[in-house]
Amino acid sequence: MLEVIILGAGKGTRMRSSLPKVLHNLAGKPLIHHVIDTARQIGAAKIHVVVGHDADAVESAVSAHDVSCHRQTEQLGTGHAVKQAIPACRPDSTVIVLFGDVPLLTHHTLASVVEMAASGPVVLAAKVEDPSGYGRVVRDGQGLFARVVEHKDANEQERELNEINTGVLAATGEQLASWLNQIDNDNSQAEYYLPDVLGVAIREGVSVSVVTTGSDEWLGVNDRVQLAHVERALQAREASQLMAAGVGIADPTRIDIRGNVTAGQDVFLDVGVVLEGEVSLGDNVRVEPYVVLKNCSIGSGTLVNSFSHIEDASVGNDCQIGPYARLRPGSELAEGVKVGNFVELKNSYMGAGAKANHLAYVGDATVGANSNIGAGTITCNYDGANKHKTILGDRVFVGSNSTLVAPLTVADDGFVAAGSTVTSDIAESQLAVGRAKQRNIDGWKRPTKEPKD
């Protein structure tokens, strides 16, 4: 059985934030959620999270059926942290230790660690150009693992080594429990270092294997500069995966993917696009600059123009959205709908071929096929206490600057004259004129400004 221990007790002082470090967002979700997701991908039967600073907040954030939390009331080092969780692990389990602030590790790399751990303890190392600040992996004359030495405790020769310890290691629960009881805090930090258990293993004659990665997936987060760096690294990875699947991206350095994206053929995403939550894009969808798509589906052949915002909505095939359009939660568009600039929809359905081309608000409404909503039109759906429904049939025409006071029904082929305030239902093919009678006043004098002294 595979169990994972994730260390997430630290405060993250260098983040200069009241929020625990592992709860800072990366690509739309907390750092530690990325680590938990990866643990699940490698088949962890149980996930143990060690919490400390603001433990209640972290526990609440990671709460799940397969996650248990263990409190480290004093932060006395990584070895001490693992010691809080190891009693909850089965002695015969393979236990892998991960870090809540190291979110880029892939399940492919960790699967290699787990596979090798079947033969004995394993440490994950990385080859880097600048190893400053990191613990070094020291090998013996035969190139086998000898020990890990922390940077502050390393001598000049050891500091020249460029193979660093990522902190990730795996062994059986029984081995870790035994070795943790044998390490001490006789070091410059007066902390119990987790890598010291590997030295204990060597002294007991147990060989330690090394898996080495050369990518940036070992990078951790200690401050906001590193958080931004890891964000771009993750975004580059996500963009590369989309492009490998056939999605065209104008500039991979100027896109943000904060969820799961599925896309058909010949999709194109321009600069500044933000994709959040679950997003589905059909064939030949084109998304222009600075569009936000959140938990939505966009049908094939649809064009989303610049600066539009679509959230919790469904858009059919061959639609045109924006620019500057907003589709709020509950909006559903059938095939061939046009929602133009500065149009807002909320909890509304628009039938095939319907149009609201400019400057309109459509809320809690059903709009029939091939209906047209003119500029400046609003549905008055809220009476100050309750929401009410507006129903427009097929081929309804609503003239510009009209006010539709719900609850209201306009039957098929109904017509609303421009500038009308409509408060009563309109029957099929009726024309509604709901505006004050115009008066033209002769001899009217335009106001003039008083002269200044």
Show which residues are catalytic.
Answer: 358
Task: Decide if 335 contacts 319 (C-beta within 8 A).
Answer: yes
Q: How far apart are CA 34 and CA 98, in angstroms?
A: 11
- Cβ count near 387 (within 10 Å): 13
Judge residue 434's burial from the number of C-beta atoms within 10 Å of its C-beta, 0-12 exposed, 13-18 middle, 19 or more buried.
Answer: middle
Q: How far apart are CA 100 and CA 102, in angstroms?
A: 6
Rounded-to-integer distance, Cα 249 and Cα 275, Å: 13
For residues 100 and 70, what is the distance between their CA atoms, to the nearest angstrom?
14
CA distances from 157 to 134, 137, 150, 163, 427 (A): 14, 12, 13, 13, 90
Q: Measured in Å, how far apart are the chain's first and last C-alpha atoms?
A: 91
